[in-house]
Amino acid sequence: MIEGIVFDLWNTLAHNVAKPDPMRLLAEALGIDGERRWVRRIERGMMLAPAAGMEGALRQIEAREGLRIEDPDLRRTVVDRWNRAGDDAALFPDVLPALVKLRRRYRLGLLSNTQSFGLQFLDRDGLWDHLDASAFSFEVGALKPRSEMFEAMAARMALAPDKLLMVGDQPRDDILGARDAGMRALRLERPGNPPRRHGEVDEEGNDGVLLTDLAALPEEVARLSAIG
């Protein structure tokens, strides 16, 4: 029986409503936006340890990935865009109504590959009020789909992995990573989401369900919990 539900953050619960997208702008400035694994390079560079704002994150990327933004004006543009990113981020409209319903029966958690800054919207939009635990990559020192992330989440939720359901948008990071860690998983693919990363498979590890919003999640979790 499912006793807890763990959510990915970006493009599952929240998105950046302003353009340009800060991740894409950073990739373009670093000259890696044409690479297949550009998202992973940025995540490795800036999401494995706390950073002193975006300028500190750029120094981490330079040290870990050997990349640099040489143009000082472009560098300032990137830093300024990321400094605004926390104000421009917002929860999807279906998030809080779904969490209110789910928290009546389940423990809820947040598991994300993310940077340590620009997360003020989590307080502003009231997400923390509906969560029991969280585990971020910059705290754990690992990125999904590494098992350390899911193990940290299970420990902070005080539940065994087989009592947890992961909900996220990335087949490899969220779905296959969770299942390899002993959790169940459902994939959420919101209309207009960025393309899936790394050429990952669509349906494997999806428990036969593909959600397009969170409105149907309470009913789906109850069904999965009932069938064991």
User: What does the pLDDT look like over 193-219, one tens digit per residue?
Assistant: 654 443 344 444 444 468 999 999 999
Q: With 50 as the cut, is the pLDDT of residue 84 above it?
A: yes
Model pLDDT for residues 27-43, shown as the tens digit of each residue:
999 999 999 899 999 99
More confident residue, 202 or 100: 100
Model confidence pLDDT, tens digit, residues 146-193: 999 999 999 999 999 999 999 999 999 999 999 999 999 999 998 876
Give the model's pLDDT for residue 131: 98
Report pLDDT for 209: 61
4-16+90-227: which CATH architecture?
A: 3-Layer(aba) Sandwich (3.40)
Q: Give tens-digit pLDDT for 5-19.
A: 999 999 999 999 988
The whole-model pTM stands at 0.91
pLDDT confidence band for 4 (50 / 70 / 90): very high
CATH 3.40.50.1000 in the chain is located at 4-16+90-227
Q: How many other C-beta atoms are found inside a 10 Å radius of the C-beta of residue 210?
A: 12
pLDDT, averaged across the chain: 91
